[in-house]
Amino acid sequence: MPHDDTEKRRFRVTHPYHPLYQQEFELVSYRQNWGEDRVWFQDTKDGRLHSLPMNWTDASALDPFVAIAAGRSLFRVADLIELAKQVARWKPEQMREV
């Protein structure tokens, strides 16, 4: 999503545990803050400007892995390999040799 394209666009909060879940807002801006892309919007109730991580909304592009997996795989192979490496580091030395 280019950072200079903020025409009258609306987005919906898609994070299931967020209190604004399924609510729709008008996009004010989006930019990278705190190391992640964020959407900025004005709350119609209090008039204040708020931001959310873009990946908690439908404003972010669909992850290609999620689209292709179509619910058949919950984990990427690369992520599982990294997890196995992390777990191996936590095991005691004698367990690694087994």
* Domain spans, the chain: 1-61
> What is this structure's pTM?
0.56
pLDDT at 79: 86
- Does 2.60.40 match the CATH number of domain 1-61? no
pLDDT at 18: 93
Better-scored residue on pLDDT, 98 or 17? 17
Better-scored residue on pLDDT, 46 or 66? 46
Q: pLDDT band at residue 75, thresholds of 50, 70 and 90?
A: confident
Alpha carbon distance 4, 90 (integer Å): 45
Tokens representing residue 10 in the block: 């609306």
Backbone angles phi, psi at 89, to 5 degrees: -70, -25
pLDDT at 95: 59
pLDDT at 35: 83
Closest by Cα among 46, 5, 1, 2 to 25: 46
Segment 42-71 mean pLDDT: 84
Tokens representing residue 67 in the block: 């689209």
